[in-house]
């Protein structure tokens, strides 16, 4: 019975993390109360404290979980530079721009994470480095990462995050499309994957 209870508790926690991740990315951390988050997960408010000590504890877990899942999603990308290019094109797309609830946690939550307690920012930092490592591993497959490849991976990811944030913030749809298009061109150029360049 204890084994079932532990499995059930783990499954319930995973359900909370997934639904809270969608809600945070859609409505923001501050715009998502515990009652709404638990309703999304199909649970009562009382069940929250069986899994988390506070909302900040949940935010930390969601940030870590979302970034880990983002890295896992890279596994279906091609190896090498082709995989990085596909990642950039998926990320800097109108589909991603227009669907924050199912998109990158960094693009959706960065401003709130920056104002969160240190333990949340520590979780973000670890997750961010995991994303950059995954990009870097494709930039230099089979080779030892270098200072240049780390800077390249970090720079392109930061550019991608900022591009999506600006495109989401504008009320002009033509400008929003242009921001995405220019960001895509700049990211591919930074990676040496732009028109007429060799990866």
73-94: per-residue pLDDT in tens? Answer: 999 999 888 999 999 999 999 9
Q: What is the pLDDT of residues 41-65, one digit of tens each?
A: 999 888 898 899 999 999 999 999 9
SS (H, E, C) 120-165: HHHHHHHHHHHHHHHHHHHHCCCCCCCHHHHHHHHHHHHHHHHHHH
The CATH code of the domain at 55-190 is 1.10.357.10
DSSP 3-state of 1? coil
Q: How many CB atoms lie within 10 A of CB 134?
A: 21
Q: What is residue 9's predicted lDDT score, i.e. its pLDDT?
A: 86
Q: What is residue 195's predicted lDDT score, i.e. its pLDDT?
A: 61
Alpha-carbon distance values, 49 to 26, 36, 76 (Å)? 23, 15, 36
Q: What is the pLDDT of residues 115-141, one digit of tens each?
A: 999 999 999 999 999 999 999 888 887
Q: What is residue 196's predicted lDDT score, i.e. its pLDDT?
A: 46
Q: Does the CA dihedral 167-169-172-175 come out positive or negative? A: negative
Tell me the pTM.
0.88
Q: At 42, which helix (H) or strand (E)?
A: none
């Amino acid at each position: 019975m204890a084994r079932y209870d532990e499995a059930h508790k783990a499954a319930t926690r995973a359900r909370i993390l997934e639904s809270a991740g969608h809600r945070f990315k859609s409505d923001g951390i501050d715009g998502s109360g515990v009652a709404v988050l638990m309703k999304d997960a199909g649970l009562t408010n009382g069940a929250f404290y069986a899994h988390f000590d506070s909302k900040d504890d949940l935010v930390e877990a969601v940030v870590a979980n979302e970034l880990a899942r983002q890295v896992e999603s890279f596994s279906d990308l091609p190896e090498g530079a082709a995989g990085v290019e596909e990642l950039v094109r998926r990320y800097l797309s109108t589909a991603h721009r227009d669907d924050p609830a199912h998109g990158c946690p960094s693009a959706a939550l960065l401003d709130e994470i920056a104002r969160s307690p240190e333990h949340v920012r520590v979780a973000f930092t670890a997750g961010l480095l995991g994303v950059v490592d995954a990009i870097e591993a494709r930039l230099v497959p089979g080779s030892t990462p270098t200072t240049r490849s780390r800077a390249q991976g970090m720079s392109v990811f930061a550019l991608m995050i900022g591009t999506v944030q600006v495109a989401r913030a504008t009320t002009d749809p033509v400008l929003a499309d242009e921001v995405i298009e220019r960001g895509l061109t700049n990211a591919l150029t930074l990676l040496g994957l732009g028109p007429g360049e060799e990866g």
